[in-house]
Structure 1
Amino acid sequence: MKAQNDQRTGLLYGFASYGMWGIVPLFWPLLQPAGAIEILAHRMVWSLAVVGLALLVLRRWGWMAELLRQPRKLALTAVAAALVTVNWGVYIWAVNNGAVVEASLGYFINPLVTIALGVLVLGERLRRTQWAAVGIAVTAVLVLAVGYGRPPWISLILAVSFALYGLIKKQLGMGGLESLTAETVIMFLPALGYLLWLGSRGESTFTAQGPGHAALLASAGLVTAIPLICFGAAAIRVPLSTLGLLQYMAPVFQFGLGVLYFHEAMPPARWAGFSLVWVALSILTWDALRTARRSRALRLDALSAHLPSSVPSPVPSPLPTPERETA
């Protein structure tokens, strides 16, 4: 029962995190004229401020000493911090340079990489319908790559970096708030050093563009911390294959924003590729719902079979009764 409750909670965290990531392309253009690296540095600095305040309120500090006593866990945390830094930076650059649709492609590829890691590294097994969906999605990615006329580097970097990040979070087994705090502590000094260097050269936009711009840069901490905390909580509660399904939410929203709000070009090849992706998503969704119904039915059958053995046997009656006899 506890495992079922944990997985249900993890699904809620997953829906929340990917929903927020889906609409975040609306936020990053508001931070211009700051460049991608300056925005990235502010994300790091202000994210630590947000999670630090949360830990102060919750009084959850004991895990830090334990982490410092485990070199392997600390090293994995540093790798996770590096991966998410790459992911953040590339994504900000893509959104602010008119590549929202290509960035969304990266997060369509990402579940495929996540599922592959679940199979190859963690030994998770896929059903036939899941394999079929993966095959269709791989075909879709190839069609989209041909449509772009070049390797989709933005997409590939986003996909691989975040899939590896999710795998490491799974192995760390830390809470979402704790793991994000550790990662932002590692990233804090380089980020702060860059911002100070930028300010010394008179190139920082934090003070030059007025208090409104400064407030927007500072709010990057909230925009970053909240969905990542939700993702961290989901990653330790649900299988990677399930995360692979949930991850389609964010690119669907991002794709819609890229086409309808940012008015990015969509030639026929891209429409064909994205259509295949949506077919794959439909298959995965149908399979997940079918499997959930079967699992629920099996649990009910097992419960029904167990109940008679736990009820005291009635006194034998000389007359037949309409109820089914039990051994």
Structure 2
Amino acid sequence: MLNRLMKALSGKSQSRGIVYAVLSYLLWGILPLYWKALKQINADEILASRITWSFVFLLLIMIIIGGLKDLKQVISTPKTLIGVFLGSLLISANWFIYIWAVNCNHVIETSLGYYINPLFTVLLGVTVLHERIDRWQITSLGLALLGVLIITFQYGQIPWIALSLAISFGLYGLVKKLSNLSSIIGLTMETMMITPLALGYMVYKQVEGTSSLSALPLNIWILVVMTGVITATPLLLFAQAAKCVPLSTLGFIQYLSPSIGLLLGIFLFKESFTRVDLISFGLIWLALGTYSFSRKEFINSLHKKRLIRFS
């Protein structure tokens, strides 16, 4: 059964990979709505809960599809474990930096980080994987870089938090790209490696009497448990997209997530949006448009999937 599932999920077609990438970034884009519902819980315990329940969710999937034998086989391979361990460190660091930054009122810098991240991803694709980019991609990269520089200039200092977020997730994408593991097995192993620490931390907070998870209403506890599902699902889609799509292409699709966050911030959370912000984000959107509509393969793949129609 596992082989059939992997065959269905792991097709190498670029069009399928683009669909996976778009879905993953759509889910990440609306994720702030979920964390708003859990605002009464401390950020460190939200992180520990995400890790623990993600592992539980993924392990259940592995049991259902009969993939435990494959998991045991991978665990017995030392070289593979090194890559998995590196991936678990990178994604844990990314989550920790993000939650810490939000708690310390550095939301603007975290947003900047997820706009810088695609640029770093494209850079990794070109320098490490030797992926080729054409003049349209170079033009798009220049426009996006200009937009990010304007935001950075407006911020007024070196955005260390943003750079840390961009680098940690960019390197995580590279690790997933180089991995020979299926997305389900890779993510199960990553969460398995850090779950003991997360679970131990939650137990420590309970024993110490400082846990914000105590005495939560049932509806909030359900949301806490579901953090595993909402965390693992976009990561599964992203891991599969990284195997099907060039890293440089994946980098540009990644702008979808912070753009959704931008719309939520303006129209739902009523955050301020200055003229400088409009210029910066406008350049980034222009970069996306230039890149997307100049790529015949991208347009053709969407047309075949009937995601868009031409009159």
Q: TM-score, normalised by structure 1?
A: 0.83
Identify the residue that residue 63 of structure 1 maps to in structure 2. Answer: 70
Q: Name which of 125, 128, 131 aligns with 1:124.
A: 131
CA gap of 1:4–1:47, structure 2 versus 1, over 3 A, is closer
CA distance in 2, matches of 1:85, 1:166: 13
Confirm or deny that 1:88 pairs with 2:95: yes
| 1:95-115 CA-partner distances (Å, limit 9, x unpaired) | 566655543332221111111
Shift of 1:143: 0.8
SS of residue in 1 equivalent to 2:295? helix
Matches within 5 A, 1:110-259: 110-259=117-266
Shift of 1:293: 5.5
SS in structure 1 of the partner of residue 13 of structure 2: helix
SS of equivalent residue, structure 1 residue 34: coil
Distance 2:66 2:214 in 1: 33
Distance (Å, rounded) in 2 between the aligned partners of 1:50 and 1:83? 20
More off after superposition, 68-77 vs 167-176:
68-77
8 Å CA contact retained: 1:47, 1:184: yes
- Identity among equivalent pairs (%): 38
Deviation of the 1:64 alpha carbon: 2.3
Contact 2:293 2:299 in 1 (8 A): no
17, 21, 32: which one aligns with 2:39: 32
CA distance in 2, matches of 1:29, 1:92: 13
Letter in 1 for 2:186: S
CA RMSD of aligned residues (A): 2.3
The 1-side partners of 2:21 and 2:80 are apart by: 24
Please state how far the C-alpha of 1:30 moved relative to its aligned partner: 1.4
2: distance between equivalents of 1:23 and 1:96? Answer: 19
The one-letter amino acid paired with 2:269 is F
Q: How many residues align?
A: 294
For each residue in 1:165-191, what CA deviation from the matched residue of structure 2 results, as whole angstroms up to 9, or x when unmatched? 000001112211111100000110000
Distance 2:97 2:265 in 1: 16
Please, which runs of 5 or more residues in structure 1 have no aligned partner?
A: 297-327
Please state whether the residue corresponding to 1:130 is helix, strand or coil: helix
Structure 1 or 2, whichever has the larger Rg, is 1
Instruction: Report which stretch shifted further, 25-34 or 208-217.
Output: 208-217
The 8 Å contact of residues 198 and 204 in structure 1, kept in 2 or not, is answered as yes
**TM-score normalised to the size of structure 2?**
0.87
Deviation, 1:152, is 2.6
Pairing 1:288–2:295 present: yes
